[in-house]
Amino acid sequence: MARLMLRPNGRLYNDAQHMLDAFLPGAGVYYSIVEAIARGERSWSKITSRVGRDGGALQRPAQWLQEMEVINRVVPVPESPPHRNVRFMRYPTLCVILAPFCSAFGEGGVTTSDGALLWKELVEPRVDNYMGEVFEGLCGDFVREGGVEGFKPVRAGRWWDGTSTYEIDVVAFDANGGVLAWECKWGQVESHDFRSLRDKTAVLARSSRR
C-alpha cells in the first residue's frame, strides 16, 4: 500500500482520479459532489449548496456516481415513497482514508514521499474508523440475508428520525410486524451503548406506529 498508493510515483497513486478524468467530461463537478459528501453533507439541498449548482444540473452526475458505487443514496426504513428523508453517503472504500493524504502532496500538506512513514503515522491510526463503516455494512448484509435465527426480514436498512437526532445502524421488519434493531460497534461495547440503543428503539417504535 505504501509503495503503490502513498508515493507520488506509485502506480495506483492517482488511479481513481485518472478513471474519472478518462470517462467524464467536466469531472470537476463529480469531484465536487464527492468532496461535499466527504465533508459531512448528507442532504441533497446541502450538497447542491456546497457545490454551488442547482439540483437539476447535478442529477446526472450524482446518478453516475451511484451507479459506479462511489456514493450511495440511502432511505431510512420503513419510509415509503415519496422519499423525503434521503441521505447521500460514500461507499466505505479504502480511498476514504487515503485520499486526504494523497491529494495533499501537491498542496504543501505532505512534504515526504516516504510511503511507509505516511502509512504508519497518518493512515494506520485511522483504520479503525474506516473499519467501523465496513463492519456496519457487513452487519446489515447479515441481517438482510436471514442470518439471525428465527427472524425472517422482509425490509431492512439503516434508520434515523426526521430530525436526525436518533439513528440506528440496522433495523429490520418481518412479515408479522416484528422489529429487529442492531447497533454495530467495531471495538469495545459499554453499558451506555445499550442504554442509547434502548432509548432509540423507543423512538423507532413510536414513529413506526404513526
Nearest to 72 by CA among 22, 136, 117: 136
> Domain count of the chain?
2
Angle between helix 95-103 and 127-144 (nearest 10): 150
State the pLDDT at residue 177: 86
For residues 153 and 144, the answer to whether their CB atoms sit within 8 Å is yes
Range of the domain at 98: 2-127
Residues 33 and 83 in one domain: yes
Residues 112 and 191 in one domain: no
Return the residue matching grid coordinates 452487519. 139
Residues 152 and 192 in one domain: yes
Residues 18 and 122 in one domain: yes
For residues 80 and 91, the answer to whether their CB atoms sit within 8 Å is no
Residues 98 and 117 in one domain: yes
What are the cell numbers at 160? 434515523
Residues 196 and 104 in one domain: no
What is the chain's percent helix, strand, coil content, to nearest 5? 50, 15, 35
What is the enclosing helix (H) or strand (E) of 205?
helix 191-208
Residues 33 and 115 in one domain: yes
CATH number reported for the structural domain that contains residue 107 in this entry? 1.10.10.10
For residues 4 and 13, the answer to whether their CB atoms sit within 8 Å is yes
Residues 179 and 116 in one domain: no
Residues 81 and 141 in one domain: no
Cα separation values, 71 from 16, 62, 90, Å: 14, 8, 4
Residues 115 and 150 in one domain: no
Residues 134 and 121 in one domain: no
Residues 6 and 88 in one domain: yes
Rounded CA separation 5/53 (Å): 32
Rounded CA separation 19/21 (Å): 6
Show the CA angle centred on residue 66, arms to residues 65 and 68, nearest 5°. Answer: 65
Q: Which of 127, 148, 176 is the last residue of a domain?
A: 127
State the pLDDT at residue 113: 73
Ramachandran quadrant class, 147 (left: phi over 0; alpha: psi -120 to 50; beta: rest): alpha
Q: Which of 127, 160, 175 is the last residue of a domain?
A: 127
Mean pLDDT in consecutive groups of 10 residues from the start of the chain, 210 residues: 82 74 76 82 89 89 87 82 72 55 52 80 83 89 93 92 88 92 92 94 82
Q: Is 167 helix (H, G, I), strand (E, B) or coil?
A: strand
Q: Which of 92, 110, 127 is the last residue of a domain?
A: 127
